Amino acid sequence: MLQNKKAVIVTLMIGTSMAAIDSSIVNVSLPAIQKQFDASLDDVSLVITAYMTTFLLCIPLTNWLKQRIGYYNLYLGSIVIFLMGSMFCSLAKELPVLVIARVLQAVGGGAISPTALAILSESLPKK
């Protein structure tokens, strides 16, 4: 069992919250993104569609990746990939670059929640 359960829970909650918030927070900024990139609403909607599709496709891969690199490495790697995607989103000067950065975010984000739940279920007492 883990020595500092509260620290583990808080760490996992922060990562899971980042991924959960990121999946919907872009909805609020769609008009600003549309204006910034001078794009149609259909084009801007790719920012959301690409993220959600990639996010959903990555979730089932979590178990396969866990068996190869372990939960803790997978969680850390997912956070790093998610943060890299976030950084690239902030630097995007063109809409296609933003969409690709959102896909990178989703690759990390798609593994964060299931990995966090698996770590909790295996590391804490069943009670």
Q: What is the pTM of this model?
A: 0.88
Q: How far is residue 103's CA from residue 109's CA, in Å, rounded to a whole number? A: 10
Q: For domain 5-122, is the CATH number 3.40.50.880?
A: no
pLDDT tens sequence across 28-79: 999 999 999 999 999 999 999 999 999 999 998 998 999 999 999 999 999 9
- Domain extent listing, the chain: 5-122
Buried b / exposed e along 101-122 (16+ C-beta atoms within 10 A): bbbbbbbbbbbbbbbbebbbee
pLDDT tens sequence across 10-27: 989 999 998 888 878 888
Q: What pLDDT does residue 25 have?
A: 86
Q: What pLDDT does residue 36 have?
A: 94
Q: What pLDDT does residue 2 have?
A: 57
Would the pLDDT of 95 be above 90?
Answer: yes
Q: How far is residue 56's CA from residue 12's CA, in Å, rounded to a whole number? A: 20
